[in-house]
Amino acid sequence: MSKILVATQKPFAPLAVEKIREICDKASFELVLLEKYPDKSDLIRAVAGAQALIIRSDKVDRDVLEAGTDLKIVVRAGAGYDNVDLKAATDNGIVVMNTPGQNSNAVAELAMGMMVYSARNMFNGSSGTELFGKKLGIHGYGNVGKHVTRIAKGFDMEVFTFHPRKSDDEIIKDGLIPLGSIKELYETCQYISLNIPAREENLKLVGYNLLSSMPEGGTLVNTARKEVIDEEGLMMAMEKRNDFRYLSDIEPECKPDMTEKYAGRYFFTPKKMGAQTAEANINAGIAAANQIVGFINNGDATFQVNK
Ligand code: 3PG
């Protein structure tokens, strides 16, 4: 009987676990649950004997992968797989997949919530502004960017993007206004929703030059990874422009400095909250379990991210 380990330091909603269990039962796979584990050594112990592993942002490095001597597949229930050592997985003949799109609406709703929160001055009782008619730039027009666009258009925002691999016609057809570069996107839009993956080429991509070029009231909403921000540049932008704001789904490294100097112009979730809804957990959990059954039973490697 194949054993599937679900290892989540930040657990799925209970209903998501129930759904994963149903899929495992139907396929006659054994489900083992490891939640809120305090240390990597717990994961290393638990992965021994498992053929498949479902994780969220849990770190799966070479030690974990090598301890999983029976491991055939790891599915990151979510979009970003920067927490998995892909090279080590490939070296050990282990397939890694993600579940793209399954939690994107939840992330997009959080991004919009943060925009409203900022426009209303963090609900501090003072007179704020509206999103209606404002310019929003989508930096990273993938699954999350598409949902942000859909919701923002409900607020009657003007939505812009730059996409190096999409034609202007495709972007216009989706209801956005195409721009010629990332620089132009930041120069044009008061609000930016940052949704790019933490790939090598994106690390520290957003810094002083882009941020300082934003129009009056420039607000960066980051629901991507903190690693895509050049924090030195961010702090410079906060220092030079007292109208600039930064809201992020996770605390940056510069949090102590930020809290000391720029009260009222930032907001951080205490831990990554974008995908932390019952619906997102259910969608991503079900997709992960189904992808494992499809791979083990039929060799279906759709959504494999290491080749
Ligand atoms: C993702 O990459 O899918 C999101 O960052 C969500 O991560 P989480 O599952 O750890 O909340």
Average of pLDDT values for 267-285? 96
Distance CA 35, CA 254 (A): 29
For residue 307, pLDDT over 90 is answered with no
Closest residue by Cα to atom 2, ligand 1, is 80
Contact 63, 44 (CB under 8 A): yes
pLDDT digits (tens, 9 = 90+) for 142-180: 999 999 999 999 999 999 999 999 999 999 999 999 999
Closest residue by Cα to atom 10, ligand 1, is 57
CA distances from 38 to 5, 44, 58, 81 (A): 16, 12, 11, 21
Contact 196, 167 (CB under 8 A): no
The span from the first CA to the last CA of the chain, in angstroms, equals 27
Cα 86 to ligand 1 centre (Å)? 17
Contact 215, 237 (CB under 8 A): no
Cα 133 to ligand 1 centre (Å)? 30
CATH architecture of 104-268: 3-Layer(aba) Sandwich (3.40)
Average of pLDDT values for 198-207? 97
- 3-102+277-298: CATH class: alpha beta
Average of pLDDT values for 82-94? 98
pLDDT score recorded for residue 198: 96
pTM of the shown model: 0.96
Q: Which long-range contacts (CB under 8 A, 24 or more apart) does 226-229 make?
A: 226/250, 226/251, 226/252, 226/253, 227/82, 227/198, 227/203, 228/194, 228/196, 228/198, 228/202, 228/203, 228/204, 229/204
Please report, for the chain, the start and end positions of each structural domain, with discontinuous segments joined by +: 3-102+277-298, 104-268
Q: Which atom of ligand 1 is nearest to the CA of 225?
A: 5
Who lines ligand 1 at CB under 6 A? 10, 56-57, 78-80, 103, 272, 274-276
What integer best gives the mean pLDDT of the chain?
97
Cα 273 to ligand 1 centre (Å)? 8
For residue 272, pLDDT over 90 is answered with yes
Q: Which atom of ligand 1 is nearest to the CA of 224?
A: 5
Cα 129 to ligand 1 centre (Å)? 30
Distance CA 233, CA 212 (A): 9
Confidence of residue 98 (pLDDT cuts 50, 70, 90): very high
- Pick from 58, 272, 277 the residue to mutate for probing ligand 1's pocket: most ligand atoms within 8 Å of its CB: 272
For residue 306, pLDDT over 90 is answered with yes
Confidence of residue 44 (pLDDT cuts 50, 70, 90): very high
Phi/psi at 34 (nearest 5 deg)? -130, 100
Q: Which residues pair with 7 in a beta bridge?
A: 34, 55
pLDDT score recorded for residue 80: 96
Contact 53, 67 (CB under 8 A): no
- The reply to whether domains 3-102+277-298 and 104-268 share a CATH topology is yes
| Structural element, H or E, at residue 225 | none
Cα 14 to ligand 1 centre (Å)? 17
pLDDT digits (tens, 9 = 90+) for 180-190: 999 999 999 99
For residue 83, pLDDT over 90 is answered with yes
For residue 1, pLDDT over 90 is answered with no
Helix ranges restricted to H, 104-253: 104-119, 143-154, 168-173, 182-188, 208-212, 231-240
| 161's tokens | 């993007």
- Close Cβ partners of 226 (under 8 Å, ≥ 6 residues apart): 248, 250, 251, 252, 253
Q: Which atom of ligand 1 is nearest to the CA of 56?
A: 9
- Close Cβ partners of 173 (under 8 Å, ≥ 6 residues apart): none
Q: Which atom of ligand 1 is nearest to the CA of 98?
A: 3
Closest residue by Cα to atom 6, ligand 1, is 275
pLDDT score recorded for residue 5: 98
Confidence of residue 225 (pLDDT cuts 50, 70, 90): very high
pLDDT score recorded for residue 162: 98
Cα 57 to ligand 1 centre (Å)? 6
pLDDT score recorded for residue 264: 95
Cα 144 to ligand 1 centre (Å)? 12
Distance CA 136, CA 276 (A): 24
Q: What percent of the chain has pLDDT over 70?
A: 100
